[in-house]
Structure 1
Amino acid sequence: MDLFRGTTNDTEQQKVLSLDRGLFFINYKSADDSLSPPHVIVAPAEGHERRMEIILHPDETEPTLWKPNSGLVVRVNTPGTLQVQVRPRRPGGSRAAIVRVEQIQAGQTPATADQGNGMEQHTHVATEGLKVLGHVAGRGDIIVGPNAWIAGPAAPSRVEGMALEWPDRPASVDIRYAVQFANGQTGSGRMVSLGTYAGTRGRALPLTAVVLEMSGTDELKFVAEAGFLNAPTLRAVGNRVVLSGPTNREPLVGIRISIERIETAKQVATPATPRKPAGSARVRVFRSQQRQTGAAR
Protein backbone atom coordinates (compact mmCIF):
# COMPACT_ATOMS: atom_id res chain seq x y z
CA MET A 1 0.00 0.00 0.00
CA ASP A 2 1.47 3.39 -0.98
CA LEU A 3 1.89 5.82 1.92
CA PHE A 4 3.04 8.97 0.12
CA ARG A 5 2.60 10.44 -3.36
CA GLY A 6 3.22 13.88 -4.81
CA THR A 7 3.70 17.23 -2.98
CA THR A 8 6.85 19.37 -3.09
CA ASN A 9 6.84 21.85 -0.19
CA ASP A 10 9.65 21.73 2.34
CA THR A 11 7.78 20.67 5.46
CA GLU A 12 7.99 17.04 6.52
CA GLN A 13 5.03 14.77 6.09
CA GLN A 14 4.20 11.89 8.37
CA LYS A 15 1.94 8.86 8.33
CA VAL A 16 1.01 6.82 11.38
CA LEU A 17 0.31 3.17 10.62
CA SER A 18 -1.25 0.53 12.89
CA LEU A 19 0.41 -2.84 12.31
CA ASP A 20 -0.61 -6.30 13.45
CA ARG A 21 1.88 -8.89 14.63
CA GLY A 22 4.14 -9.89 11.74
CA LEU A 23 6.94 -8.77 9.41
CA PHE A 24 6.64 -5.66 7.24
CA PHE A 25 8.92 -4.33 4.48
CA ILE A 26 9.20 -0.53 4.29
CA ASN A 27 10.04 0.05 0.63
CA TYR A 28 11.23 3.47 -0.61
CA LYS A 29 10.18 3.05 -4.25
CA SER A 30 10.90 6.36 -5.99
CA ALA A 31 11.19 10.14 -5.74
CA ASP A 32 10.43 12.98 -8.14
CA ASP A 33 13.81 14.66 -7.51
CA SER A 34 16.39 12.02 -8.37
CA LEU A 35 19.34 14.37 -7.76
CA SER A 36 18.27 15.43 -4.28
CA PRO A 37 15.62 12.96 -3.11
CA PRO A 38 13.97 13.35 0.27
CA HIS A 39 14.82 10.84 2.98
CA VAL A 40 12.46 8.56 4.86
CA ILE A 41 12.63 8.06 8.64
CA VAL A 42 10.96 5.07 10.29
CA ALA A 43 10.36 4.77 14.04
CA PRO A 44 7.91 3.20 16.51
CA ALA A 45 5.35 5.60 17.93
CA GLU A 46 6.09 6.86 21.43
CA GLY A 47 5.33 4.13 23.94
CA HIS A 48 5.38 1.38 21.29
CA GLU A 49 9.16 0.88 21.20
CA ARG A 50 9.00 -2.50 22.93
CA ARG A 51 6.30 -3.81 20.61
CA MET A 52 8.50 -3.88 17.53
CA GLU A 53 12.05 -3.89 16.28
CA ILE A 54 13.54 -2.36 13.12
CA ILE A 55 15.92 -4.57 11.16
CA LEU A 56 18.54 -2.59 9.21
CA HIS A 57 21.05 -3.46 6.53
CA PRO A 58 24.38 -4.51 8.17
CA ASP A 59 26.04 -1.33 6.85
CA GLU A 60 23.41 1.02 8.31
CA THR A 61 23.20 2.36 11.85
CA GLU A 62 19.90 4.28 11.88
CA PRO A 63 16.41 3.66 10.48
CA THR A 64 16.67 6.22 7.67
CA LEU A 65 16.24 5.47 3.97
CA TRP A 66 18.34 8.03 2.12
CA LYS A 67 17.37 7.27 -1.48
CA PRO A 68 14.90 5.29 -3.60
CA ASN A 69 15.27 1.54 -4.05
CA SER A 70 16.16 1.10 -0.40
CA GLY A 71 14.24 -0.49 2.43
CA LEU A 72 14.17 -2.02 5.87
CA VAL A 73 12.14 -4.59 7.77
CA VAL A 74 9.95 -4.03 10.81
CA ARG A 75 9.23 -6.99 13.06
CA VAL A 76 6.07 -6.43 15.09
CA ASN A 77 5.79 -8.70 18.13
CA THR A 78 2.48 -7.30 19.40
CA PRO A 79 0.15 -4.93 17.51
CA GLY A 80 1.57 -1.43 17.57
CA THR A 81 1.90 1.90 15.79
CA LEU A 82 4.67 2.86 13.38
CA GLN A 83 5.58 6.39 12.26
CA VAL A 84 6.93 6.99 8.75
CA GLN A 85 8.23 10.48 7.90
CA VAL A 86 9.41 11.98 4.61
CA ARG A 87 11.73 14.99 4.94
CA PRO A 88 13.31 17.12 2.19
CA ARG A 89 17.07 16.81 1.85
CA ARG A 90 17.51 20.59 1.69
CA PRO A 91 15.39 23.68 2.49
CA GLY A 92 12.82 24.14 -0.24
CA GLY A 93 13.58 20.70 -1.61
CA SER A 94 11.13 18.14 -2.86
CA ARG A 95 9.43 15.69 -0.54
CA ALA A 96 7.54 13.95 -3.37
CA ALA A 97 8.15 10.26 -2.79
CA ILE A 98 6.46 6.89 -3.03
CA VAL A 99 6.86 4.70 0.04
CA ARG A 100 5.17 1.34 0.39
CA VAL A 101 4.51 -0.90 3.37
CA GLU A 102 4.32 -4.55 2.36
CA GLN A 103 3.57 -7.43 4.72
CA ILE A 104 5.94 -10.38 4.48
CA GLN A 105 3.96 -13.61 4.74
CA ALA A 106 5.27 -16.51 6.78
CA GLY A 107 5.84 -19.74 4.87
CA GLN A 108 2.83 -22.00 5.14
CA THR A 109 1.85 -25.39 3.82
CA PRO A 110 -1.03 -24.85 1.36
CA ALA A 111 -4.30 -25.49 3.16
CA THR A 112 -6.83 -27.92 1.84
CA ALA A 113 -10.55 -27.45 2.19
CA ASP A 114 -13.26 -30.07 2.27
CA GLN A 115 -10.69 -32.87 2.45
CA GLY A 116 -13.36 -35.39 3.19
CA ASN A 117 -15.37 -34.97 -0.02
CA GLY A 118 -12.59 -35.52 -2.56
CA MET A 119 -13.86 -32.63 -4.69
CA GLU A 120 -11.74 -29.48 -4.40
CA GLN A 121 -8.33 -28.41 -3.20
CA HIS A 122 -7.49 -24.77 -2.38
CA THR A 123 -4.00 -23.35 -2.77
CA HIS A 124 -2.76 -19.83 -2.05
CA VAL A 125 -0.22 -19.54 -4.90
CA ALA A 126 -2.49 -17.37 -7.04
CA THR A 127 -2.62 -14.28 -4.84
CA GLU A 128 0.68 -13.63 -3.13
CA GLY A 129 0.44 -9.93 -4.05
CA LEU A 130 -3.06 -9.37 -2.63
CA LYS A 131 -3.28 -6.62 0.01
CA VAL A 132 -6.26 -5.98 2.26
CA LEU A 133 -6.68 -2.67 4.06
CA GLY A 134 -9.11 -2.36 6.94
CA HIS A 135 -9.87 0.72 9.01
CA VAL A 136 -10.27 -0.40 12.63
CA ALA A 137 -11.81 1.81 15.31
CA GLY A 138 -9.17 3.17 17.67
CA ARG A 139 -6.30 1.72 15.63
CA GLY A 140 -6.55 3.29 12.18
CA ASP A 141 -5.65 1.65 8.88
CA ILE A 142 -4.28 -1.90 9.05
CA ILE A 143 -2.79 -3.56 5.97
CA VAL A 144 -2.35 -7.32 5.71
CA GLY A 145 -1.68 -9.90 3.05
CA PRO A 146 -3.98 -12.73 1.97
CA ASN A 147 -5.43 -15.02 4.63
CA ALA A 148 -4.39 -12.71 7.52
CA TRP A 149 -6.88 -11.32 10.03
CA ILE A 150 -7.75 -7.66 10.38
CA ALA A 151 -8.94 -7.49 14.01
CA GLY A 152 -10.54 -10.96 14.27
CA PRO A 153 -11.00 -13.64 16.93
CA ALA A 154 -7.86 -12.82 18.91
CA ALA A 155 -8.44 -9.05 18.95
CA PRO A 156 -12.03 -8.23 17.88
CA SER A 157 -12.65 -4.56 17.11
CA ARG A 158 -15.10 -2.57 15.01
CA VAL A 159 -14.14 -2.47 11.30
CA GLU A 160 -15.33 0.75 9.60
CA GLY A 161 -14.01 0.38 6.04
CA MET A 162 -11.86 -1.71 3.70
CA ALA A 163 -10.05 -1.79 0.37
CA LEU A 164 -8.42 -4.50 -1.76
CA GLU A 165 -5.29 -4.12 -3.89
CA TRP A 166 -3.83 -6.75 -6.21
CA PRO A 167 -1.12 -5.30 -8.50
CA ASP A 168 -0.46 -8.69 -10.15
CA ARG A 169 -4.11 -9.40 -10.91
CA PRO A 170 -4.57 -11.32 -14.20
CA ALA A 171 -5.83 -8.95 -16.89
CA SER A 172 -8.98 -11.00 -17.48
CA VAL A 173 -10.06 -10.92 -13.83
CA ASP A 174 -12.39 -8.20 -12.57
CA ILE A 175 -12.97 -7.69 -8.85
CA ARG A 176 -15.56 -5.50 -7.16
CA TYR A 177 -16.76 -5.25 -3.59
CA ALA A 178 -19.18 -3.37 -1.38
CA VAL A 179 -19.82 -2.72 2.30
CA GLN A 180 -23.07 -2.10 4.11
CA PHE A 181 -24.04 -0.09 7.20
CA ALA A 182 -26.91 -0.77 9.57
CA ASN A 183 -28.43 2.70 9.10
CA GLY A 184 -28.23 2.91 5.29
CA GLN A 185 -25.60 5.65 5.11
CA THR A 186 -24.58 7.05 1.73
CA GLY A 187 -22.46 4.50 -0.12
CA SER A 188 -23.96 1.51 1.67
CA GLY A 189 -24.13 -1.42 -0.75
CA ARG A 190 -22.43 0.44 -3.64
CA MET A 191 -20.01 -1.77 -5.57
CA VAL A 192 -16.53 -0.29 -6.08
CA SER A 193 -13.53 -1.40 -8.10
CA LEU A 194 -10.20 -2.81 -6.93
CA GLY A 195 -8.11 -0.26 -5.03
CA THR A 196 -11.10 1.87 -3.96
CA TYR A 197 -11.78 2.45 -0.27
CA ALA A 198 -15.30 1.50 0.81
CA GLY A 199 -16.60 2.66 4.17
CA THR A 200 -15.91 5.54 6.54
CA ARG A 201 -13.13 6.70 8.87
CA GLY A 202 -13.60 8.18 12.33
CA ARG A 203 -17.41 8.29 12.21
CA ALA A 204 -18.15 5.30 14.47
CA LEU A 205 -20.06 3.56 11.66
CA PRO A 206 -19.24 -0.15 11.78
CA LEU A 207 -19.76 -2.34 8.74
CA THR A 208 -22.59 -4.87 8.96
CA ALA A 209 -21.93 -6.74 5.71
CA VAL A 210 -19.25 -7.22 3.05
CA VAL A 211 -19.91 -8.36 -0.54
CA LEU A 212 -17.09 -9.65 -2.76
CA GLU A 213 -17.49 -10.35 -6.49
CA MET A 214 -15.02 -11.75 -9.03
CA SER A 215 -15.56 -12.38 -12.74
CA GLY A 216 -13.44 -13.41 -15.71
CA THR A 217 -12.14 -16.68 -14.24
CA ASP A 218 -13.39 -20.15 -13.31
CA GLU A 219 -10.13 -21.11 -11.57
CA LEU A 220 -10.06 -18.55 -8.74
CA LYS A 221 -12.43 -18.15 -5.81
CA PHE A 222 -12.73 -15.89 -2.80
CA VAL A 223 -12.10 -17.63 0.50
CA ALA A 224 -13.19 -15.24 3.24
CA GLU A 225 -13.90 -15.36 6.95
CA ALA A 226 -15.59 -12.73 9.08
CA GLY A 227 -16.48 -12.25 12.71
CA PHE A 228 -19.57 -10.32 13.74
CA LEU A 229 -20.33 -9.23 17.29
CA ASN A 230 -21.84 -12.02 19.41
CA ALA A 231 -22.00 -14.39 16.42
CA PRO A 232 -19.98 -17.43 15.27
CA THR A 233 -17.19 -16.92 12.75
CA LEU A 234 -18.53 -17.04 9.18
CA ARG A 235 -16.64 -18.63 6.28
CA ALA A 236 -17.61 -18.31 2.61
CA VAL A 237 -16.10 -19.58 -0.65
CA GLY A 238 -17.10 -18.60 -4.19
CA ASN A 239 -16.97 -16.08 -7.04
CA ARG A 240 -19.51 -14.01 -5.13
CA VAL A 241 -19.66 -14.12 -1.35
CA VAL A 242 -21.75 -12.20 1.14
CA LEU A 243 -20.59 -11.93 4.74
CA SER A 244 -23.07 -10.72 7.36
CA GLY A 245 -24.30 -11.55 10.85
CA PRO A 246 -27.49 -13.47 11.72
CA THR A 247 -29.70 -10.34 11.66
CA ASN A 248 -27.65 -8.29 9.15
CA ARG A 249 -27.14 -5.65 11.87
CA GLU A 250 -24.25 -7.06 13.89
CA PRO A 251 -21.02 -4.98 13.64
CA LEU A 252 -18.11 -6.53 11.77
CA VAL A 253 -15.28 -7.13 14.27
CA GLY A 254 -12.81 -9.11 12.16
CA ILE A 255 -12.19 -10.19 8.57
CA ARG A 256 -9.65 -12.06 6.48
CA ILE A 257 -9.71 -12.53 2.73
CA SER A 258 -7.75 -14.57 0.22
CA ILE A 259 -8.21 -15.46 -3.43
CA GLU A 260 -7.27 -19.05 -4.08
CA ARG A 261 -6.87 -21.31 -7.05
CA ILE A 262 -9.35 -24.16 -7.04
CA GLU A 263 -7.93 -27.42 -8.35
CA THR A 264 -10.67 -29.93 -9.18
CA ALA A 265 -9.68 -33.44 -8.17
CA LYS A 266 -11.18 -36.71 -9.39
CA GLN A 267 -14.81 -36.59 -8.38
CA VAL A 268 -16.50 -39.40 -6.50
CA ALA A 269 -20.05 -40.58 -7.12
CA THR A 270 -22.55 -38.37 -5.32
CA PRO A 271 -26.34 -38.24 -5.26
CA ALA A 272 -27.89 -36.01 -7.90
CA THR A 273 -28.76 -32.52 -6.75
CA PRO A 274 -31.23 -30.06 -8.28
CA ARG A 275 -29.73 -27.96 -11.07
CA LYS A 276 -29.19 -24.34 -10.16
CA PRO A 277 -30.42 -21.54 -12.42
CA ALA A 278 -28.02 -20.62 -15.23
CA GLY A 279 -25.52 -17.96 -14.27
CA SER A 280 -25.80 -18.47 -10.51
CA ALA A 281 -22.49 -18.49 -8.63
CA ARG A 282 -21.90 -21.36 -6.23
CA VAL A 283 -21.25 -20.15 -2.71
CA ARG A 284 -20.44 -22.45 0.17
CA VAL A 285 -20.91 -20.98 3.64
CA PHE A 286 -19.72 -22.54 6.88
CA ARG A 287 -20.32 -21.35 10.42
CA SER A 288 -17.83 -22.58 12.98
CA GLN A 289 -18.92 -23.94 16.32
CA GLN A 290 -19.10 -21.43 19.15
CA ARG A 291 -15.74 -21.18 20.89
CA GLN A 292 -14.87 -20.03 24.36
CA THR A 293 -14.57 -16.28 24.75
CA GLY A 294 -11.13 -15.03 23.77
CA ALA A 295 -10.06 -18.22 21.99
CA ALA A 296 -8.22 -17.69 18.73
CA ARG A 297 -9.49 -19.44 15.64
Structure 2
Amino acid sequence: MFEGQMRQGAAAAKRKTVDIERGLFLVRYASSDDTRHPPTVRISFEERSGPDTALIIHPDARDAILSEPGTALAVRAASPAKLLVEVMPTGMDGSTAATVKVEALNPGAMPETTIAADGHLDAGPLAGGAIRLRAHVAGIGDVIAAINEWVAGPSAPSRIEGLAIDWPDMPAGLDLRYAVRSRNADATRLAPIGSFVGT
Protein backbone atom coordinates (compact mmCIF):
# COMPACT_ATOMS: atom_id res chain seq x y z
CA MET A 1 0.00 0.00 0.00
CA PHE A 2 1.21 3.52 -0.82
CA GLU A 3 0.08 6.36 1.37
CA GLY A 4 1.12 9.80 0.26
CA GLN A 5 0.75 13.04 2.11
CA MET A 6 1.26 16.28 0.25
CA ARG A 7 1.50 19.01 2.83
CA GLN A 8 2.53 22.31 1.32
CA GLY A 9 0.10 25.20 1.37
CA ALA A 10 1.12 26.97 -1.87
CA ALA A 11 -1.49 27.52 -4.56
CA ALA A 12 0.41 25.49 -7.18
CA ALA A 13 -0.66 21.91 -7.82
CA LYS A 14 1.48 19.20 -6.24
CA ARG A 15 2.40 16.05 -8.18
CA LYS A 16 3.69 12.66 -7.11
CA THR A 17 4.46 9.59 -9.20
CA VAL A 18 3.62 6.17 -7.78
CA ASP A 19 5.04 2.96 -9.25
CA ILE A 20 2.43 0.20 -9.35
CA GLU A 21 2.81 -3.45 -10.27
CA ARG A 22 0.45 -5.52 -12.40
CA GLY A 23 -2.87 -5.69 -10.58
CA LEU A 24 -6.02 -3.94 -9.43
CA PHE A 25 -5.78 -1.00 -7.04
CA LEU A 26 -8.08 1.30 -5.10
CA VAL A 27 -7.03 4.97 -5.07
CA ARG A 28 -8.76 6.64 -2.13
CA TYR A 29 -8.77 10.30 -1.12
CA ALA A 30 -8.44 9.68 2.62
CA SER A 31 -8.26 13.15 4.18
CA SER A 32 -7.43 16.83 3.80
CA ASP A 33 -6.31 19.47 6.27
CA ASP A 34 -8.80 21.91 4.75
CA THR A 35 -12.25 20.52 5.51
CA ARG A 36 -14.15 23.55 4.13
CA HIS A 37 -12.40 23.77 0.76
CA PRO A 38 -10.46 20.54 0.24
CA PRO A 39 -8.20 20.33 -2.80
CA THR A 40 -9.16 18.06 -5.67
CA VAL A 41 -7.05 15.05 -6.68
CA ARG A 42 -6.54 14.15 -10.34
CA ILE A 43 -5.35 10.62 -11.17
CA SER A 44 -3.69 9.71 -14.47
CA PHE A 45 -0.96 7.53 -15.93
CA GLU A 46 2.38 8.88 -17.05
CA GLU A 47 2.67 8.85 -20.85
CA ARG A 48 5.27 6.06 -20.68
CA SER A 49 2.70 3.73 -19.15
CA GLY A 50 1.43 1.16 -21.62
CA PRO A 51 -2.00 0.95 -23.24
CA ASP A 52 -2.91 -1.97 -20.98
CA THR A 53 -3.81 0.36 -18.09
CA ALA A 54 -7.22 1.75 -17.14
CA LEU A 55 -8.79 4.11 -14.64
CA ILE A 56 -12.21 2.87 -13.54
CA ILE A 57 -14.47 5.75 -12.55
CA HIS A 58 -18.14 6.12 -11.62
CA PRO A 59 -20.45 5.98 -14.68
CA ASP A 60 -21.60 9.57 -14.01
CA ALA A 61 -18.05 10.94 -13.71
CA ARG A 62 -16.38 12.52 -16.74
CA ASP A 63 -12.83 12.68 -15.41
CA ALA A 64 -10.64 10.77 -12.98
CA ILE A 65 -10.87 13.52 -10.36
CA LEU A 66 -11.51 12.87 -6.68
CA SER A 67 -13.35 15.95 -5.45
CA GLU A 68 -13.27 15.44 -1.68
CA PRO A 69 -12.12 13.06 1.05
CA GLY A 70 -14.01 9.78 0.91
CA THR A 71 -14.07 9.56 -2.88
CA ALA A 72 -12.21 6.80 -4.73
CA LEU A 73 -11.58 5.14 -8.06
CA ALA A 74 -10.05 1.88 -9.22
CA VAL A 75 -6.92 1.35 -11.29
CA ARG A 76 -6.26 -1.69 -13.48
CA ALA A 77 -2.76 -2.38 -14.79
CA ALA A 78 -1.89 -5.45 -16.87
CA SER A 79 1.82 -4.60 -16.46
CA PRO A 80 3.86 -2.34 -14.16
CA ALA A 81 2.97 1.33 -14.64
CA LYS A 82 3.50 4.80 -13.23
CA LEU A 83 0.48 6.49 -11.68
CA LEU A 84 0.45 10.29 -11.48
CA VAL A 85 -1.33 11.79 -8.44
CA GLU A 86 -1.92 15.53 -8.77
CA VAL A 87 -3.38 17.56 -5.87
CA MET A 88 -4.91 20.87 -6.98
CA PRO A 89 -6.09 23.70 -4.70
CA THR A 90 -9.70 24.80 -5.08
CA GLY A 91 -8.95 28.53 -4.71
CA MET A 92 -6.18 31.10 -5.16
CA ASP A 93 -4.65 30.44 -1.74
CA GLY A 94 -6.14 26.98 -1.37
CA SER A 95 -4.44 24.13 0.37
CA THR A 96 -2.77 21.19 -1.35
CA ALA A 97 -2.53 19.21 1.89
CA ALA A 98 -4.15 15.86 1.16
CA THR A 99 -3.67 12.21 2.05
CA VAL A 100 -4.20 9.83 -0.87
CA LYS A 101 -3.95 6.05 -0.44
CA VAL A 102 -3.22 3.53 -3.19
CA GLU A 103 -4.15 0.03 -2.02
CA ALA A 104 -3.69 -3.23 -3.90
CA LEU A 105 -6.84 -5.35 -4.19
CA ASN A 106 -5.87 -9.01 -4.12
CA PRO A 107 -7.91 -11.12 -6.53
CA GLY A 108 -8.18 -14.32 -4.49
CA ALA A 109 -9.81 -17.41 -5.85
CA MET A 110 -13.47 -17.38 -6.80
CA PRO A 111 -15.49 -19.63 -4.51
CA GLU A 112 -16.89 -22.78 -6.02
CA THR A 113 -20.63 -22.51 -6.60
CA THR A 114 -23.05 -25.42 -6.37
CA ILE A 115 -26.79 -25.90 -6.15
CA ALA A 116 -27.79 -27.79 -3.01
CA ALA A 117 -30.34 -30.62 -3.09
CA ASP A 118 -33.02 -28.30 -1.67
CA GLY A 119 -32.46 -25.83 -4.52
CA HIS A 120 -30.60 -23.25 -2.46
CA LEU A 121 -27.50 -21.72 -3.93
CA ASP A 122 -24.39 -22.52 -1.89
CA ALA A 123 -21.38 -20.39 -2.74
CA GLY A 124 -19.15 -22.44 -0.45
CA PRO A 125 -16.50 -20.95 1.78
CA LEU A 126 -15.20 -17.50 1.00
CA ALA A 127 -11.72 -17.56 -0.50
CA GLY A 128 -9.24 -14.73 -0.76
CA GLY A 129 -11.58 -12.14 0.66
CA ALA A 130 -14.18 -12.44 -2.12
CA ILE A 131 -17.34 -10.39 -1.68
CA ARG A 132 -20.60 -12.31 -1.56
CA LEU A 133 -24.24 -11.39 -1.21
CA ARG A 134 -26.67 -13.11 1.16
CA ALA A 135 -30.29 -12.49 0.24
CA HIS A 136 -33.63 -13.67 1.59
CA VAL A 137 -35.84 -14.54 -1.39
CA ALA A 138 -39.63 -14.88 -1.02
CA GLY A 139 -40.76 -18.49 -1.24
CA ILE A 140 -37.19 -19.80 -1.39
CA GLY A 141 -35.32 -18.65 1.70
CA ASP A 142 -31.71 -17.60 2.03
CA VAL A 143 -29.62 -17.54 -1.14
CA ILE A 144 -25.88 -16.85 -1.33
CA ALA A 145 -24.35 -15.43 -4.50
CA ALA A 146 -20.76 -14.71 -5.43
CA ILE A 147 -19.61 -12.06 -7.89
CA ASN A 148 -21.44 -12.19 -11.27
CA GLU A 149 -24.17 -14.54 -10.02
CA TRP A 150 -27.92 -13.93 -9.85
CA VAL A 151 -29.82 -14.06 -6.58
CA ALA A 152 -33.25 -14.37 -8.20
CA GLY A 153 -33.76 -14.15 -11.94
CA PRO A 154 -33.96 -13.86 -14.84
CA SER A 155 -34.73 -17.58 -15.12
CA ALA A 156 -36.31 -17.67 -11.65
CA PRO A 157 -37.54 -14.16 -10.80
CA SER A 158 -38.66 -13.73 -7.20
CA ARG A 159 -39.05 -10.95 -4.66
CA ILE A 160 -35.89 -10.22 -2.62
CA GLU A 161 -36.98 -9.36 0.93
CA GLY A 162 -33.61 -8.38 2.32
CA LEU A 163 -29.87 -8.75 1.93
CA ALA A 164 -26.47 -8.60 3.57
CA ILE A 165 -23.00 -8.14 2.08
CA ASP A 166 -20.08 -10.20 3.39
CA TRP A 167 -16.46 -9.14 2.75
CA PRO A 168 -14.18 -10.89 5.25
CA ASP A 169 -10.94 -9.24 4.08
CA MET A 170 -12.24 -5.74 3.48
CA PRO A 171 -9.30 -3.28 3.39
CA ALA A 172 -8.62 -1.55 6.71
CA GLY A 173 -9.95 1.98 6.87
CA LEU A 174 -12.72 1.36 4.34
CA ASP A 175 -16.19 2.01 5.74
CA LEU A 176 -18.75 0.30 3.52
CA ARG A 177 -22.41 0.84 4.37
CA TYR A 178 -25.56 0.03 2.41
CA ALA A 179 -29.32 0.37 2.50
CA VAL A 180 -32.27 -0.99 0.52
CA ARG A 181 -35.33 0.72 -0.88
CA SER A 182 -38.46 -0.96 -2.17
CA ARG A 183 -40.88 0.52 -4.65
CA ASN A 184 -43.41 1.82 -2.08
CA ALA A 185 -41.25 2.42 0.99
CA ASP A 186 -38.47 4.64 2.21
CA ALA A 187 -34.89 3.41 2.23
CA THR A 188 -33.68 1.55 5.29
CA ARG A 189 -31.00 3.06 7.50
CA LEU A 190 -27.42 2.63 6.35
CA ALA A 191 -26.02 -0.58 7.82
CA PRO A 192 -22.40 -1.71 8.22
CA ILE A 193 -20.94 -4.62 6.28
CA GLY A 194 -22.37 -7.99 7.34
CA SER A 195 -25.69 -6.53 8.55
CA PHE A 196 -29.02 -7.71 7.18
CA VAL A 197 -31.23 -4.96 5.72
CA GLY A 198 -34.74 -5.34 4.40
CA THR A 199 -38.22 -6.32 5.55
Contact 1:51 1:79 in 2 (8 A): no
Deviations 1:18-74 (A, max 9, x none): 111100100001111111110000001013151310000111011011111000000
- Aligned pairs (5 A) from 1:247-258: none
- 1:172 alignment partner in structure 2: none
CA separation of 1:80/1:6 partners in 2, compared to 1, >3 Å: closer, same or farther? same
- Aligned pairs (5 A) from 1:64-143: 64-108=65-109
- 1:51 alignment partner in structure 2: 52
Q: Which has the higher contact order (CA 8 A, sep 6+)?
A: 2
Q: Which consecutive residues of structure 1, in runs of 5 or more, have no partner in the other structure? A: 110-123, 126-165, 169-297
How far apart, CA to CA, are the structure 2 residues paired with 1:88 and 1:13? 9
Q: Which consecutive residues of structure 2, in runs of 5 or more, have no partner in the other structure? A: 111-126, 129-170, 174-199
- 1:21 alignment partner in structure 2: 22
- Deviation of residue 5 (structure 1)? 4.1
Which of structure 1's runs of 4+ aligned residues deviate more than 4 A?
Answer: none
Give the TM-score of the pair, scaled to structure 1. 0.36
Deviations 1:101-126 (A, max 9, x none): 000010238xxxxxxxxxxxxxx98x
How far apart, CA to CA, are the structure 2 residues paired with 1:49 and 1:64? 21
Contact 2:39 2:98 in 1 (8 A): yes
CA separation of 1:7/1:103 partners in 2, compared to 1, >3 Å: closer, same or farther? same
- Deviation of residue 6 (structure 1)? 2.6
Contact 1:25 1:104 in 2 (8 A): yes
Contact 2:26 2:74 in 1 (8 A): yes
How large is the RMSD of aligned CA atoms in angstroms? Answer: 2.4
Give the TM-score of the pair, scaled to structure 2. 0.53
Contact 2:27 2:101 in 1 (8 A): yes
- 2:63 alignment partner in structure 1: 62
Contact 2:44 2:84 in 1 (8 A): yes
- Aligned pairs (5 A) from 1:123-202: none
- Deviation of residue 167 (structure 1)? 6.9
2:22 alignment partner AA: R
Contact 2:6 2:14 in 1 (8 A): no
Aligned length: 116
Contact 1:5 1:97 in 2 (8 A): yes
Contact 2:6 2:96 in 1 (8 A): no
CA separation of 1:49/1:59 partners in 2, compared to 1, >3 Å: closer, same or farther? farther
Identity %: 31
- 1:37 alignment partner in structure 2: 38
Deviations 1:214-258 (A, max 9, x none): xxxxxxxxxxxxxxxxxxxxxxxxxxxxxxxxxxxxxxxxxxxxx
How far apart, CA to CA, are the structure 1 residues paired with 2:103 and 2:41? 16
How far apart, CA to CA, are the structure 1 residues paired with 2:83 and 2:93? 27
